[in-house]
């Protein structure tokens, strides 16, 4: 009987096992800031059809990104330091891979043109950071960047207050 009184609490209490598992998650993204190093105009049959802007972080090939823009400085795609060219697609989250090769080949594929040439305009880009002009084109008055940034920030705050999402590009 005494054995029964001792065994009963042991049977009722049972064993408690705690298992700890780590949650699979990706590490926090690292923000990388690069400076504009060089800039080229993409010309086809003597006409400017776009721009290629080189951004470098440390000077190594893997730290290079070539941004391909149209003549109005809108980003159309990018070429990474390994020569892979990606074109931005409307309403798509990720850009589409259009090929690999040289910077010129990538720019041609992104712009949808062939028989192009790159003309270095790095010196002009240093004097005119917002845009470069071609001979015979009309120069527009420069607009300070502070006002559009503030307007964009206010629009983003307004959209987030309504539950909207901001543009990623």
Per-residue pLDDT tens digits for 69-119? 999 999 999 999 889 999 999 999 999 999 999 999 999 999 998 889 999
pLDDT, the chain, mean: 74
Residue 7: per-residue pLDDT: 55
DSSP secondary structure, 90-118, as one string: TT-SSPEEEEES-HHHHHHHHHT-SS-EE
pLDDT surpasses 60 at 21: yes
> For residues 118 and 38, what is the distance between their CA atoms, to the nearest angstrom?
12
Going by C-alpha positions, the residue among 108, 103, 95 that lies closest to residue 120 is: 103
From start to end of the chain, where are the E strands? 35-44, 47-56, 64-69, 75-80, 84-87, 96-100, 117-120
% of the chain exceeding 90 in pLDDT: 40
Could you tell me how many residues make up the chain? Answer: 169
> For residues 157 and 151, what is the distance between their CA atoms, to the nearest angstrom?
10
> For residues 35 and 72, what is the distance between their CA atoms, to the nearest angstrom?
20
């Amino acid at each position: 009987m005494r054995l029964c009184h001792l065994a009963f609490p042991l049977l009722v209490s049972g064993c408690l096992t705690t298992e700890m598992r780590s949650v699979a998650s990706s590490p926090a993204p690292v923000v990388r800031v690069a400076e504009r190093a060089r800039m080229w105009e993409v010309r086809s049959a003597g006409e400017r059809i776009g721009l290629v802007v080189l951004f470098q972080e440390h000077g190594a090939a893997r730290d290079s990104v070539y941004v391909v823009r149209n003549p109005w400085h809108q980003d159309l795609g990018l070429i990474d330091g390994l020569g892979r060219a990606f074109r931005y697609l409307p309403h798509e989250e990720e850009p589409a891979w259009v090929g690999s090769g040289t910077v010129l080949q990538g720019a041609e594929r992104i712009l949808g043109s062939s028989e192009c040439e790159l003309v270095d305009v790095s010196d002009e880009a240093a004097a005119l950071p917002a845009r470069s002009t071609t001979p015979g084109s009309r120069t527009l008055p420069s607009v300070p960047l502070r006002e559009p940034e503030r307007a964009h920030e206010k629009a983003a705050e307004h959209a987030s207050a309504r539950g909207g999402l901001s543009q990623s590009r």
